[in-house]
Amino acid sequence: MINPAPSLLDHDEMQRGIAGGRKLPVPMLPSEVVRIETAMHFACVGDKTIRAWAKTYGIGRQADRHAPLQISFPALLMKVDGELQTLDRFRAGDRSHPSVTFYLDRAVMLLEELRKPRSKR
């Protein structure tokens, strides 16, 4: 009998979206990613706070040390509103739950508004 390779993550931790005591990043579509400056604007907080939230709550990802931090805009909105249960649903991939779809739709609406020329706002 062949033993399976040991996992780097405990199965229970993987189910909860945790790796080594920190939250795994939420799954992000390219259209949902915003720069840290945009995240700072919408959350009304500074760079260090966004970086701390990305690490603690898994609302962002960084490919390597020198890569830019990518923030999930829907996840940011969930964190700002204190909707951590919705954030956990989002992390688990439940994009069809009503509370998650609310934030996905809200993120699209806010980003479309931001991308409009100033004269049309």
Residue 33 CA to residue 37 CA, distance in Å, equals: 12
pTM comes to 0.80
**Residue tagged 């956990």 (tokens):** 88
Q: Tell me, what's the pLDDT at 69?
A: 94
List residues bridging with 19 in a β-sheet.
22
Span 55-104, pLDDT tens digits? 999 999 998 889 999 999 999 999 999 999 999 999 999 999 999 999 99
Span 105-117, pLDDT tens digits? 999 999 999 888 7
